[in-house]
Amino acid sequence: MKITLVLTDSFSDCTKAIKEMISLGEKLSANMEVLAVLEDLYKLEKASISLGVPLPPDTVPSAKERFEDRIKTVFRHSGLENKIKVQVVAGELKKEVENHLKDSGADLLMFGCPSAHHVCKVIDELGVSSLIIK
């Protein structure tokens, strides 16, 4: 079994979601991975280009790096730092999750998300077992 934890940049407490994924993953002897989708950053970048005021060139890469470091810090405390793949992308949530599913073949998606209305719509269209962690 493979579990993917999906986080977004609007999710402030990834610690709880990561711990829940680890707990469930260990109980099921599952392979675990994290997909972090920086949707807000993607929208900001898109808006800045359309307004003719582009973001500084290092904005997106540095945001991805900071988010990945934040996730890996939680893994360090659980001893799983090098055992769980972390992928950070900037894009639309639905599109990035669909792309990830094609590549990973995850059996279960766990969404760490404070705002469920947007995520519920995405989940309905994916056709994969999903959990929302609040």
Q: For the ranges 9-13, 14-18, 96-100, 105-109, which has the lowest average pLDDT?
A: 9-13
3-class secondary structure, 85 = strand
Report if pTM > 0.85. Answer: yes
Question: In angstroms, rounded to a whole number, what is the distance separating the alpha carbons of residues 93 and 122?
Answer: 8
Residue spans per domain, the chain: 2-133
| Residue 40's pLDDT band (cuts 50, 70, 90) | confident
Average pLDDT (68-94) is 84
Q: What CATH superfamily is the domain 2-133?
A: HUPs (3.40.50.620)
| Residue 119's pLDDT band (cuts 50, 70, 90) | confident
Residue 6 scores a pLDDT above 90? yes
Question: In angstroms, rounded to a whole number, what is the distance separating the alpha carbons of residues 54 and 83?
Answer: 37
Per-residue pLDDT tens digits for 90-115: 999 999 999 999 998 899 999 986 65
